[in-house]
């Protein structure tokens, strides 16, 4: 065995071992930081995609609201519209009935 190892060699040997551990820790931290950075970029990308999808959905909702309002207005108009048409039909039927009755009564009187 070599017993002529000085204290400096022992100290420097331990120091280089400590430096290696520190370098490994720094490398590990750098790798972790790189991983976190990649995850953050991915999250930002996903947020941007979701924002675009939400904007599209918001536009669709607005269009649906407008279409619903138009449908409601048209339904109200149609609901009001058949009443005059119904009165018109009833009026025509009444006039036809009156003409038939008058014609029948006129023919009965003349005979």
Tell me: the pLDDT tens digits for 15-59? 567 788 889 999 999 999 999 999 999 999 999 999 999 999 999
Residue 111: its pLDDT value, please? 66
> What per-residue string of b and e applies to 57-70 under the rule 16 or more CB within 10 Å gives b?
eeeeeeeeeeeeee
Residue 82: its pLDDT value, please? 65
For residue 38, CA distances in Å to 35, 41, 48, 49 come to 5, 5, 15, 17
For residue 70, CA distances in Å to 24, 60, 62, 76, 103 come to 69, 15, 12, 10, 49
Find the length of the chain. 111
Whether the pTM exceeds 0.75: the reply is no
Tell me: the pLDDT tens digits for 47-59? 999 999 999 999 9
């Amino acid at each position: 065995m070599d017993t002529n190892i000085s204290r400096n060699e022992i100290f420097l040997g331990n120091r280089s071992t400590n430096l290696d551990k520190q370098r490994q820790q720094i490398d590990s931290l750098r790798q972790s930081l790189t991983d976190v950075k990649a995850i953050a970029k991915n999250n930002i990308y996903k947020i941007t995609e979701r924002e675009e999808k939400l904007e599209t959905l918001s536009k669709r909702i607005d269009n649906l609201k407008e279409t619903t309002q138009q449908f409601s207005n048209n339904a109200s108009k149609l609901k009001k519209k058949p009443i005059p048409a119904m009165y018109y039909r009833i009026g025509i039927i009444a006039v036809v009935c009156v003409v038939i009755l008058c014609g029948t009564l006129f023919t009965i009187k003349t005979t």
